Amino acid sequence: MEPYYVTTPIYYVNSTPHIGHAYTTIAADILARHQRQRGRDTFFLTGVDEHASKVARVAAEQGLAPQEYADRIEGVWRELPARLLAENDFFIRTSDDGHKRFVQDFLQRIRDNGRDDIYQDVYAGLYCVGCEAFKTEADLVDGLCPEHDREPEWIEETNWFFRLSAYQGRLLQLYDARPDFVLPRFRANEARSFIEGGLQDFSISRAGQPWGIPIPWDPDQVAYVWADALVNYLSALTYAREGEDLRERYWPSVRHLLAKDILRFHCVYWPALLLAAGYDVPHQLFVHGWLLLDDRKISKSRGNIVDPLDLIDLYGADAVRFWCARSVSFGQDGSASVDGLRDRYERELGNDLGNLLSRTTAMVARYRDGELRAVPDPASDVARLVGPLGADVADRLDAYDITGSLERVWEVVRGLNRHVEASAPWQLAKDAEREQELDRVLYDLVDGLRVVAVALHAFLPAASEQILAALRVSPDVSWAGVAYGLTGTASKIEAAAPLFPRLDVQTA
Ligand code: MSP
């Protein structure tokens, strides 16, 4: 099986983490955890983008050197994946020496490629510091950058340019040859039309900036922040593991996750830079929509930041992951609300899943003194219910359908709840002649819940572990476990504590 390398964008170190950033990190972690469950060699990268001009500006305002300032603020970003229970394999900082060295080598390779892809010219035009991007009049609304409601600055300086225009043909060929290069398809079409519209060369350096990676052949200039940041996906592989170069193992088996705001950089500039430097282009890019809060993009400049750490304190990481995965179909724009989070916490996590575990374990404890007899029946309703789950979820996650795969697991959760009602174990327990029937029902509920717990590991890692522990079954979450009838006898099952306790109790 080909290795699986998944990345999030590297987040601007000087911005405040909000739920929109957490969204991509959660999605990447769901995909990575799932692939690891399937035994695939997986690498998950996230980190911070430090060389934005904003960093130098704010540092100067605070009387600090840019590096000192970045060192002080990077911690919240490093903490974010851990708090979300995201298991990234490496956290890159673009101020890492390994990254800086690699970027210099990367740019030098382009300069030396014999095609004159890098040349000097005067850049004169508009620049939005918010986007860290050059703008044309057509990008502006009433003279302002629509993303940041801010007037771009006029910049005129001699820079080094990358001959992007020369790559139009090769990029179009790439999009034609690989219809799944960018997903969803409508995003590939968007990138393709942009390429077809004609590509402008772009400046890859900035003059007179104190903060950034020096251009190797002209140290008075530093690399433009995007020409530095994109390269992280490759540079990290060269020094993430001491003494090892992971490029051979993971490049180009990479899946880049990103939101639509940075589509052009990733789907057009990045493959062109790679081709110019003599590297393979990425395996795939998945462009998701914006997570909207009350229909507005969540962002610092719009003042509707939802601090993911506050939400985790209140609801737990699992609930935040669940809400992000479930509220908006992954790939589309959509709205989420904190009320919606509370609602899903109570209704779906507390009632559907939590109560199912509480009832099941309480019944085994009460009617069987905590001892479960192993009586699988491959023809049972529960066997039929969980039978296709493993393949269905795996197929959906291979296609980045995070929302659909979670819904598929939830169908089984709802099916098990219906099974409790329909089989009414409390009635069976009253009738000594129906002992075997009761054993069968209890077995199917425990086994069904075990399957659900393994299938939920990528989405709700903490709850998954708690369910397996409460059922006194193996903590192993290998994907082969998403199959009916693998529970053996279990003993000492006790009525489980609530998985998702009532919030008034939790927050009191
Ligand atoms: N530093 C650049 C990326 C360089 S990658 C080589 C950058 N950083 S950022 O901090 O602005 O983060 C952008 C990414 O954060 C988006 O692509 C997306 O993954 C995530 N999101 C930020 N706001 C979001 C929403 N409101 N909704 C969904 N994702 C969001 O751009």
**267 is an active site residue:** no
Give me the pLDDT at residue 508, please: 34
Report d(CA 463, CA 264) in Å as an integer: 38
User: The tokens of 82 are what?
Assistant: 């851990």
Give the start-end residues of each E strand in 309-356. Answer: 334-336
Atom of ligand 1 nearest to the CA of 298: 26
- Provide mean pLDDT across the span 258-267: 97
- Provide mean pLDDT across the span 78-94: 98
Atom of ligand 1 nearest to the CA of 15: 10
Q: Which of 100, 145, 267, 419 is catalytic?
A: 145
Is 162 found in the same domain as 228?
Answer: yes
Q: What is the pLDDT of residues 12-38, one digit of tens each?
A: 999 999 999 999 999 999 999 999 999
**18 is an active site residue:** yes
Q: What is the pLDDT of residues 131-180, one digit of tens each?
A: 878 888 888 998 899 888 889 988 888 999 999 999 999 999 999 999 99
C-beta of 15 in contact with ligand 1 (< 6 A): yes
Q: Which of 34, 131, 283, 457 is catalytic?
A: 131
Integer angstrom CA distances of residue 100 from 14, 30, 110, 335:
19, 30, 16, 38
Is 373 found in the same domain as 237?
Answer: no
Give the residue, by CA position, lying nearest to ligand 1 atom 18.
259
C-beta of 12 in contact with ligand 1 (< 6 A): yes
Q: How far is the CA of 18 from the centre of ligand 1 (A)?
A: 10
In the predicted structure, residue 303 carries a pLDDT above the cut 70: no
Q: How far is the CA of 114 from the centre of ligand 1 (A)?
A: 35
Give me the pLDDT at residue 54, please: 87
- Per-residue pLDDT band for 395 (boundaries 50, 70, 90) equals very high
In the predicted structure, residue 506 carries a pLDDT above the cut 50: no
Is 139 found in the same domain as 280?
Answer: yes
Tell whether 486 is covered by a domain: no
Q: How far is the CA of 20 from the centre of ligand 1 (A)?
A: 7
Is 273 found in the same domain as 375?
Answer: no
**297 is an active site residue:** yes
Closest CA to 363 of 489, 493, 497: 493
C-beta of 386 in contact with ligand 1 (< 6 A): no
> Which three-class secondary structure state does DSSP give residue 119?
strand
- Provide mean pLDDT across the span 411-437: 96
In the predicted structure, residue 108 carries a pLDDT above the cut 90: yes
- Provide mean pLDDT across the span 209-224: 95
Is 86 found in the same domain as 37?
Answer: yes
In the predicted structure, residue 299 carries a pLDDT above the cut 70: no
Q: What is the pLDDT of residues 359-380, one digit of tens each?
A: 999 999 999 999 999 999 999 9
- Provide mean pLDDT across the span 339-365: 96
Give me the pLDDT at residue 285, please: 98
- Per-residue pLDDT band for 280 (boundaries 50, 70, 90) equals very high
Atom of ligand 1 nearest to the CA of 230: 6
Is 240 found in the same domain as 160?
Answer: yes
Closest CA to 264 of 134, 126, 111: 134
CATH number at residue 123: 3.40.50.620
- Per-residue pLDDT band for 507 (boundaries 50, 70, 90) equals very low
**135 is an active site residue:** no
For residue 65, give its domain range. 4-312
CB 350 within 8 A of CB 342: no
Is 351 found in the same domain as 302?
Answer: no
Give the residue, by CA position, lying nearest to ligand 1 atom 25.
20
Residue 33 or residue 503, greater confidence: 33
